[in-house]
Amino acid sequence: MKRLLLVVAALFTLVALAGAVGLPDLAGAQDAPEGDSITVTGIGSIEAVPNEAQMSFGVETRAPTAKAAVAANADAMRRILNALRQARGREIVTQWVSVYPVTNDTGAVDGYAASNSVSATSDVDDAAALIDAAAEAGANQISGPGLSSSNAEALYRQALGKAVAEARARAEVLAKAAGRSLGGITSISEGAGATSYPYAERAALDAASTPIVPGEQETSATIVVTFSLR
């Protein structure tokens, strides 16, 4: 009888210790884990020929005094602006106006230079004529063109759609390789944004004008998508 009582007492002590330190929750351990998922990156791109050109046109003039340099520069820029408008330039905006002294070999001031620069946009097909017109009107500082598409946002949205399709295709391959099937999208995030760069050249030159080759530009989009797995 004493041995039986000791065994019962030991059992009670074991139960008390278990309550104190905490045994594993077997019922909780049997609950189903959260659903698996897979995260992939999708990249989509669209190629298009740019239809707009952005250029910069400037003129520098020199005179013995700053006032005379500014006056001569203003007359020269008026002729350039008129030529740009006649050549179908648009969105013409002044970029800067500057006046500075010109020194000779000894470091002494030998007159003044005035500079004025404007930016202008045109259709790609009119870009060569715009450059030629500005140069003929007296522009001695010309840079560009920067080429772009007027429907850049629409192109980017198309690239986004392709990126989603690419992400799904990649996820399906991975899910199949793992012996699973693809579920729905649980999260999706957009990358840094559109990027455009030259893709291929298109020859459309006029021998009588400044050569402008717009080529093709590729607009790309990147997304990160998480799919559930079944």
pLDDT digits over 53-75, tens only?
999 999 999 999 999 999 999 99
In a domain, residue 61? The reply is yes
Q: Find the domain containing 62 and state its range.
A: 53-148
Are 57 and 80 within 8 A, CB to CB?
yes
Split at pLDDT 50, 70, 90, the class of 213 is confident
On whether both 97 and 158 belong to a single domain, the answer is no
On whether both 82 and 136 belong to a single domain, the answer is yes
202 pLDDT more than 60: no
In a domain, residue 8? The reply is no
On whether both 91 and 114 belong to a single domain, the answer is yes
If DSSP codes are grouped into helix, strand and coil, which group holds residue 202? coil
33 pLDDT more than 80: no
**Total tally of structural domains belonging to the chain:** 2
Domain endpoint, select from 128, 148, 168: 148
If DSSP codes are grouped into helix, strand and coil, which group holds residue 213? coil
In a domain, residue 27? The reply is no
CATH number at residue 180: 3.30.110.170
187 pLDDT more than 60: yes
pLDDT digits over 96-121, tens only?
999 999 998 888 999 999 999 999 99
On whether both 222 and 195 belong to a single domain, the answer is yes
Phi, then psi, of 215 in degrees rounded to 5? 65, -165
Strands (E), the chain: 37-48, 52-63, 90-103, 109-123, 141-148, 182-190, 195-200, 216-229
205 pLDDT more than 50: no
In a domain, residue 11? The reply is no
* pTM, rounded to two decimals: 0.64
Domain endpoint, select from 148, 167, 188: 148
DSSP summary character for residue 35: P
In a domain, residue 30? The reply is no
pLDDT at 29: 38
CA angle at 89 for the pair 51 and 100, rounded to the nearest 5°: 120
CATH number at residue 77: 3.30.70.2970
